[in-house]
Amino acid sequence: MTDLDLHVGFEFPAVRVTVEPAYLNVFSLLVADPNPLHFDGTAVARAGLGDRPLSQGTLNVAYALNAVLAVVDAARVTKFTCRFLGRVYAHDEVVAGGVVTEVSSDAATIALWMDNGDGQRVLTGTAVVAPA
């Protein structure tokens, strides 16, 4: 073992965030993403996907990683993966967390998750962090 401050079973405190439409707009501008599903509710309705803008996948990744970053320095994150399982809409309250599943001499692996306001799992993934 090294100086890793994480152990198997360690649960990162869950983080909650309400998905603000203004932040979806910011993200569309940041990556010049013209997809109207992220900022125009009428386009979402036309696509038959509801009536509120959809959160960008990259923003959902950020929400999930935030549970880890509240505990671990960002520079210690060496790898992360995410699979998107469901949609996150503007005004949803999402909750994200993680649990350490494996610790080796040079890394800890964390299982990430995020649920939407209905309790549906919308994202799973992993994060790997290096020792402090």
Give contact residues for other proteins (rule: CB under 8 A): 15, 17, 23, 26-27, 30-37, 43, 47, 56-59, 61-63, 65-66, 69-70, 73-75, 77-84
What are residue 124's DSSP bridge partners?
Answer: 83, 113
- Closest distance between other proteins and the C-beta of residue 43, in Å? 7
Strand, helix or coil at 124? strand
Residue number, 1 or 98, with CB nearest to other proteins: 98
Residue number, 1 or 13, with CB nearest to other proteins: 13
Residue number, 9 or 48, with CB nearest to other proteins: 48
- Report H helices in 1-132: 21-30, 41-46, 57-69
- CA–CA gap between residue 12 and residue 103 (Å, rounded): 15
